[in-house]
Amino acid sequence: MPATTTVVVGAGHNGLAISHHLAERSIDHVVFERGRVGHSWRTQRWDSLRLLTPNWMTRLPGHGYDGDDPDGYLAAAQVADFITAYAAASSAPVRSETAVTAVRAADDGFTVSTDQGEWQARTVVLAAGITTCPLPPLAAALPAGIESITAVDYRNPGQLPEGGVLVVGAAASGIQIAEEIHRSGRPVTLATGEHVRAPRRYRDRDILWWLDAAGILDERWDRIDDIVRARNVASFQLAGGQRTIDLNALQAQGIRLVGKFAGIRDGNAQFSGSLRNVIALADLKLDRLLDTIDVYAGGHGERLEPTRVPDSPLLLDLTSGEIRSVVWATGIKPDHSWLELPVFDPRGRLRHSGGVVDWPGLYVTGLPVLRRRRSTYIDGASADAADLTTHLAGHLSGRGSDTTGQPEQTRTT
Ligand SMILES: Cc1cc2nc3c(=O)[nH]c(=O)nc-3n(C[C@H](O)[C@H](O)[C@H](O)COP(=O)(O)OP(=O)(O)OC[C@H]3O[C@@H](n4cnc5c(N)ncnc54)[C@H](O)[C@@H]3O)c2cc1C
């Protein structure tokens, strides 16, 4: 059986950033990728998707955006090309078309099974992304004749039948998809639970420029009061481009807002009556965020209008033919079903502390707010990969290490 020191599962930007740091430390490793480098960006994004982060934030260890539009927003295919160029420039030892099918404990580390054979490794880094969007149980209760599709499988409005569309979820994916479908001429109803509002620009700068400059993206996972909540919070209502597309903008275009999709009874969709509250909460949180920016910058900027609270129905007859399809933009999840180790909590979540999994020699990267708020974005990969490979090197040398990602001898805080 072939052996290596570290197996990295997944050749997205996070797996490649880990590979970069392992190579810098001369740690022998191999990166298994079930498809091609940047597979998620080629196969799991809708056609019109652009990053909501500006190009200058597309930076990885030793590699960054070097085009002539630093304030623009890359399309998904451009992100795939960027990641592919990174793999080539860093000569990452990627084995494409090799899916990891099981990781098990072995005497000195792990046995990693792939569809191309088994490997032995002392350490494993899970960089398999967040790639599954399971259909919620409610989908099974939809009346016959209403089509369901998840945001991961959605490509463009042409996939949907003519007629009304219910988009469920008002985070970045849901609002972008709702707007695009509405533009295709299909009437759209958007089911809106807790969401996070943001202006595209504030005080003449991109909002992400402020989050970066004010240090908000650098807040560490172990300093955040409720990290489980922070990791599950919806993404900012942002889209690549110069416009703000918040709920006011969507309503002005003619998209109907309803509350959270709570159930189906007697053929009626039931929506929560909490829409007013979740809108008030999102406006309040936005004000707090902009207050933080104002404290950092001094002075005050112009704020968005409060979100208009619509008079929304609580029931919608799904048997009337008005709604012909449902797009579930209810969040994506990691798939670690091939991990045959007791490292999951009762809710099926991987037990880890800042990416250091509760099993010696096992690491995870690429999850939202993994080690800092920046981890949610491509831009977080550099610091996270540096921290995790430091910890991994400490584990290999037998020096021991804590869960902050720094071996104990070099810990400074
Ligand atoms: C809709 C959407 C919009 C986004 N927009 C932004 C944005 O605007 N700005 C930004 O910075 N980031 C954005 N992100 C990216 C987000 O930062 C990344 O999805 C996240 O950080 C994970 O990156 P990754 O490299 O870990 O995973 P991925 O890029 O998903 O890479 C994981 C790789 O692992 C492979 N893999 C999975 N399972 C296996 C297996 N069993 N065996 C072998 N290979 C496997 C996959 O094929 C894939 O290539 C967006 C993500 C999504 C889903």
Give residues with Cβ within 8 angstroms of 61, minimum separation 6.
Answer: 17, 20, 21, 381, 382, 385, 386
The pLDDT value recorded for residue 401 is: 56
pLDDT at 378 over 90: yes
Q: DSSP letter at 140?
A: G
> Could you tell me if the CB of 355 is within 6 A of ligand 1?
no
> Could you tell me if the CB of 174 is within 6 A of ligand 1?
no
Q: Are 222 and 354 in contact (CB under 8 A)?
A: yes
Q: Give the chain's domains with CATH numbers.
A: 3-132+332-397 (3.50.50.60), 137-328 (3.50.50.60)
Average pLDDT over residues 282-297: 98
> Could you tell me if the CB of 33 is within 6 A of ligand 1?
yes
Q: What is the pLDDT of residues 179-215, one digit of tens each?
A: 999 999 999 999 999 999 999 999 999 999 999 999 9
CA distance 247 to 365: 32
> Could you tell me if the CB of 202 is within 6 A of ligand 1?
no
Average pLDDT over residues 254-265: 98
Average pLDDT over residues 290-305: 96
Nearest CA owner, ligand 1 atom 4 = 51
Average pLDDT over residues 14-43: 97
Cα of 186 vs centre of ligand 1, distance in Å, is 30
Give residues with Cβ within 8 angstroms of 322, minimum separation 6.
Answer: 163, 164, 187, 316
User: pTM for the full model?
Assistant: 0.95
Cα of 128 vs centre of ligand 1, distance in Å, is 7
> Could you tell me if the CB of 35 is within 6 A of ligand 1?
yes
The pLDDT value recorded for residue 399 is: 73
Question: Which pLDDT band, with edges at 50, 70 and 90, does 337 fall under?
Answer: very high
Contacts 24+ apart (CB under 8 A), 263-270: 263/138, 263/141, 264/138, 264/141, 264/142, 264/318, 267/143, 267/317, 267/318, 267/319, 268/315, 268/316, 268/317, 268/318, 269/166, 269/315, 269/316, 269/318, 269/323, 270/314, 270/315
For residue 32, the cross-strand partners are 9, 95
The pLDDT value recorded for residue 407 is: 45
Region of residue 107 (phi > 0: left; psi between -120 and 50: alpha; otherwise: beta): alpha
The pLDDT value recorded for residue 201 is: 97
> Could you tell me if the CB of 54 is within 6 A of ligand 1?
no
Q: What is the pLDDT of residues 382-409, one digit of tens each?
A: 999 999 999 999 999 997 655 555 543 3
Average pLDDT over residues 112-118: 98
